[in-house]
Amino acid sequence: MTHVSMTVNGRAVSADVEPRMLLVQFLREKLLLTGTHVGCDTSQCGACVVQVDGAAVKSCTLLAVQADGCAVLTIEGLAPSGALHPMQEAFREHHGLQCGFCTPGMIMTAMDMVARLGPDLDEATIRENLDGNLCRCTGYHNIVKAVAAGARAMAPASAAAE
């Protein structure tokens, strides 16, 4: 067993874990944050995307011990006050989800896209940057619309007003 400590959704957590425990298992099984999903075993579906120190990471590719000392943000931490985050709201508004299983990973990836590329995302850019996220339900059509709208809604108020 190895001891790990990290901040998850703003809260300090620590636990003894098997060295082989993945970050996604740590989040789901130790912290009961089950919004982060597991859809594959080859790091290709993106259902498990979280942020680690501000960057999108597939939490199935990281051992819990590798996240020791890091700040982790999961889908549960996006709307701490209870009001939906604009990206969450956009997925609802544009019907960007059906079964909802890929959705947390899609939203976390979309957040990262905005952080990296800004709020003005065209369709081709969004499609290209969703490369690491699989959805079997939506045909991606409404996910692309949701990401574009969510990104726009995340623009700083001044930019949006211009």
Tokens of 120: 């003005």
Q: How far is the CB of 11 from other proteins (least distance, A)?
A: 15
Using CB under 8 A as the binding rule, the residues of this chain from 63 to 82 that contact other proteins are 74-76, 78-79
Other CB atoms within 10 Å distance of the CB of residue 131: 10
Say which entry of other proteins, ligand FES, none residue 36 contacts (CB below 5 to 8 A, set by partner kind).
other proteins
Out of 44, 68, 119, 127, name the contact with ligand FES by CB under 6 A: 44
Q: Are the C-beta atoms of residues 72 and 8 closer than 8 Å to each other?
A: yes
Choose the binding region for other proteins from 51-59, 61-69, 88-96, 151-159 (rule: CB under 8 A): 88-96
Out of 23, 67, 143, 149, name the contact with other proteins by CB under 8 A: 143
DSSP for residue 131: T
Closest to other proteins by CB, 68 or 89? 89
Q: How far is the CB of 161 from other proteins (least distance, A)?
A: 26
CB neighbours of 162 closer than 8 A, spacing ≥ 6? Answer: none
Out of 69, 136, 159, 160, name the contact with other proteins by CB under 8 A: 136
The span from the CA of 12 to the CA of 113, in Å, is: 27
CB-based contacts of 31-38 (< 8 A; 24+ apart in sequence): 33/8, 33/9, 33/74, 33/76, 35/74, 35/75, 35/76, 35/104, 36/74, 36/75, 36/104, 36/105, 37/101, 37/102, 37/104, 37/105
Q: Is 91 in the site for ligand FES (CB under 6 A)?
A: no
Q: Which residues bind ligand FES (CB under 6 A)?
A: 38-40, 43-48, 58, 60, 97-103, 135-138
Residues that bind other proteins (CB under 8 A): 18, 20, 28, 32-42, 44-45, 47, 74-76, 78-79, 84, 88, 91-93, 95, 97-104, 107, 123, 126-128, 130-131, 133-144
